[in-house]
Structure formats: structure tokens, C-alpha cells
Structure 1
Amino acid sequence: MKLREIAHSRTGDKGNISNISVIAFDAKLYPLIVSQVTAARVKALFAGIVAGEVVRYELPNLAALNFVMDQALGGGVTRSLALDAHGKSLSSALLDLEIEDTFGDTDRAP
């Protein structure tokens, strides 16, 4: 299944840093997301876009993860011609990540 079937996202960017939060539709799905949406996997997904470090922060009380990606915006939003690399586009790409339903037939949000 796609990550977008069990989570949504919020984004932001500041300078050359992109910030993507992934929030589970249901807190029961948070452990599944934590186990499969790792900093290494996000870094690999954005290999041609993110030149710097990807740091994952866990927010279990919100059933959310926050990824901070350095050197991700081609020098910054106002300096880059790569509009597709800005936060909202990156979050859409992240939500296309394939997730294996290791919990078995997970109830999915509409």
C-alpha cells in the first residue's frame, strides 16, 4: 500500500531546509509508520534532491514523524528554479512510498 493510505503530511521550508511531517490517520498505525519510514529510506527516496542529512524526529503523542532535510531546496526557495523540489511536492512524493502492511489487513482511512 502507499503511505498516503494511512497517513497525511504537512510541510515547510526555510532557506535550503525542507521539513516534512508524516501524521498517521489513526494512532494504531503509528508503529507501522515508525518501522518503515526511516531517515535512511527517506534519504534514498530523495537521493537526487537532498544533498545533506535527513534527520527523523518521532512524535508519538501526535502519532507523527518529522523529517528535516538539509540542502534539499537547490539553495533555497527564492534561489532555485526547481519548483518541484519545494516542500509540498516533496511531501507528495513521500506519501507515494510503498509500505508493507506487516500488521495484516490494516484498516485504512478513506
Structure 2
Amino acid sequence: MGLKDPGKGSRVNGKDWKGQKDPFRIKRLGVTKPSNFKEREVKKLQEQQYRARLQELKQEKEDVKKQRIADLKRRREIKEEKERYEKLAAKMHAKKVERLRKKEKRNKLLKER
């Protein structure tokens, strides 16, 4: 705020006793964004490449995780199937043994008559 400049004449609003303020300009402070279009394009391209690579890495990680889960499920299914067949085989064997025992018992009873 400087004193009134006599060469400027009187102010429009009539407040001649107040000092004149300079307009607030960001450029005067030295704060500027890159105005060069090529620089912005290069930066934008780098950002896109970075995001693409990040997405690719995330996708790879997700694929590995899904593959691991699928393998685990497959192994569990195979194990359950194997256990089921073992139970079935044991059951069938027990039935066969039971049939033989009954047959032997019948034969023994027939022989005793």
C-alpha cells in the first residue's frame, strides 16, 4: 500500500485517503504450472504408463491368488473322492465278508442235519 499517486487523479469510489493496492498476481510470486504442452503430454504419458504397470502387477498378483485357491479346491475334491471310494470299498468288503460268514453258517447248519 503506497501513498496516493498524484498522476493517477481521483479515485472512482471517492476514497482518496486510502492507499492504492496492487492486484494479487500469482505469477509475480513465481508460482506457475508448466505451461509447455509437450511437457504436460510427457508427464501425462508417464502417469498412464505407471498406472498401467501398477494395474498389471495387481492383476498378476490376483491371478496367482486365484490359481492357488483353484489348486487347493481341486486337491480337496480329489482327497474327498479318494476317501469316499475308500469308505465304499471298506463297506463293500465288509458286506462281502458278512455274506461269506452267513453262507458258511448255512453250510454248517446243513452239514449238521
TM-score normalized by structure 2? 0.17
Structure in which a larger fraction of residues adopt strand: 1
Structure in which a larger fraction of residues adopt helix: 2
TM-score normalized by structure 1? 0.17
